[in-house]
Structure 1
C-alpha cells in the first residue's frame, strides 16, 4: 500500500464518486431485470453500462460466461478509474480498500492452481486474457506447477511475501486465511498512520468482526478443531479477544451467537431470524446477507455524515461491487433455471 504524494482532492473526487453512484442500477431496474428471460437479460445489462466489455467477449464466449467475464472486466476498469481521479492522501486511503480485490485475485489463482485447472481454462474462463489487469496473474499460472511454485511466482507482492512466511506444507485454506490476516493487518496500520479518521477505522473493524463471525459459522459446519478456529480469527475487530476465544469453542450456531452477545460490540439485531432461515435453507446465506446489510447501512450513513471524505468514494466502490455480484447471481441463476422468487431472495439491494 504505497503512499501517494501531493494534495488530496476530496471535494472533486467525492463529487465524481457520487455522480458514478447515481448511474448504478437502482432496485427498481434490478427487479425488472429479474423478471426478464435468459435470452433478453444480456442485452438489457449491456444497455446499463456494460456494453463495451460485453462486445469484447462476444466473439468467443456466449451466455452467462460472456456476461460474467464482462462484469468483472468492467469492475476492474471502474476501480482503476476511481483510483485515477483520487490524489494525495485520499488516493492512499481509497487504495487500502481497493487492494482487497487484488488479494481476492491472488486467492482465485491459488484455487485454480490447486484445483488443477488447465492454463486454457484459466485463461479463457477464470481470468480472461482480454482483461489486461489479468496479465500478471496469468503469467503466474502459465509458469507454475502447484501451489508452492505459484507462491514463489508471487514474490515481490504483498500477498507473495505473506505466503512465503508460512511454514511446512500449508494447505489452500491456510493460505487464504493468511491472506485475510495480512490484508486487514496492513489496512488497520495504514488507516491509523494516515489520518484516515475514526470512522474508516471503525468500519474496517466492523468488517473484521463480520469476517470472523462468518468464518466461525462455517467452521462449525466443517467441524474444525477449536485450536484451528482460533488461528483463523482475524485480530483487530471490535469484539474483544476473550469473547472470540469463547466463540471458537461453540458447537452450534446458538452457542456461537450467545457467546458473541457477551460482547457489547456485537450487534445481534436480526440474528435470530437469520439463524432460523439458515436452518431452514441449510445455508450460511442468511447470515451473510444480514451482515452485508449492516455494513452497507454503516457505509451509507458515514458517506452522508462525512460528505467530504473518503467515504463517498468507498461507498460507491462497495455499491458497484454489489451491483456486479447481483448481476452475476442473476445471469448464473437464470442460466440454471432458478425461479424469480429464489433469485430475488438472494439478491442484495
Structure 2
C-alpha cells in the first residue's frame, strides 16, 4: 500500500507546480497507504516543495538523499523526485519480503515481474518520444526478474520500438505484448498491452497460491483498472471527447 503514499505525493507536487487549489488536488488523492487524509492535507498545506518533501520523509521514514533534493532544486523537474520515489518503493518492498516460504517467494516473483513491466513501459514511452541511451537508463529500476541493466541498455540504445523486437523476444511475456511493439502503434496500445499482461500475471499467481497475499493484490489491480476506466470515461465525457477515442483509452 506504500505505493499510494508515493502516488499521493506526486499528485500534491504536481498540483503545487501547476497552481491547483486544495480541492482540485484532493480530488486525485487516494488515502489508501500509510498516510491518512489528515496527513495528506498537512502536506498540501506546506508552502514549498522542499517542506513537503521533508515532511513526507518523516511521515514514511524515508530519507530522501540530498543529491536528489539538490538536483530537483536546480532543475525543478518533478521527474527527478518521481523517479527516486519509484526506485525507493520497489527497493523497500523487496527488502521487506523474506522469500523463506513458497507464498513469499511467489510474492517476490510477482514484484520482480512488476518491476520488469514498469521498466519496459518507461523505456517504450521514452523511445516513443525519441529519447535514447543514458537518459532512459537513468529511469531504470533495479531488481527485475528478466530485464537486467545489460538488457535495459540494449533496449535503450535501439533506434526504434520495432528495432527492440529481437531483444524483447527473450522475455517470457513477449507473446503477450508483441502486437503492440510496432512503430505504427500508439503509446496507449503499448500501455494497454502491458497492463493486460500485468493483470494476467496477477490471476496466474492467484491460482498458484490462493491462500497468499497475491489474491488481494489481484483484486486491487483489477479495482485500480476499473477506477481508472471510470475516471477516463468521466473526464472524457466532461472534455467532450468522441466516444471512440474514449473507448480506445480504456483497458478491458
TM-score, length basis structure 2? 0.84
Gaps of 5+ in 2: none
- Cα distance in 2 for partners of 1:286, 1:128 equals 26
Match of 2:153 among 245, 259, 269: 245
Q: 1:279 aligns with which of 170, 180, 184?
A: 184
- For 2:28 and 2:228, the matched residues in 1 are separated by 15
CA contact (8 A) 2:121 2:194 kept: no
Q: Are 1:306 and 2:209 an aligned pair? A: yes
Mark the CA change 1:152 to 1:336 in structure 2 (over 3 Å): closer, same or farther: same
Matches within 5 A, 1:181-220: 181-192=87-98, 195=101, 196-220=103-127
User: What residue in structure 1 maps to residue 68 of structure 2?
Assistant: 166
Tell me the residue number matched to 2:197: 294
Structure 1 pair 221/341, CA: closer, same or farther in 2 (3 Å)?
A: closer
CA pair 247-117 structure 1, distance change in 2 beyond 3 A: same
Given that 1:322 and 1:348 are in contact with CA atoms closer than 8 Å, whether structure 2 keeps it comes out as yes
Offset of 1:185 from its aligned partner? 0.7
Paired residues of 1:216 and 1:229 also in contact (CA < 8 A):
yes
> 2: CA distance between counterparts of 1:139 and 1:335?
30
- Say yes or no: does 1:180 pair with 2:86: yes
Say how many residue pairs are matched: 243
Kept in 2: contact 1:127–1:138 (CA 8 A): no
Tell me the distance in 1 between the aligned counterparts of 2:24 and 2:227: 22
Instruction: Return the alpha-carbon distance in structure 1 between the equivalents of residues 56 and 205 of structure 2.
Output: 36
Q: Quote the residue 1:7 is aligned against.
A: none
Gap regions ≥5 residues in structure 1: 1-97
Tell me the TM-score normalized by structure 1: 0.62
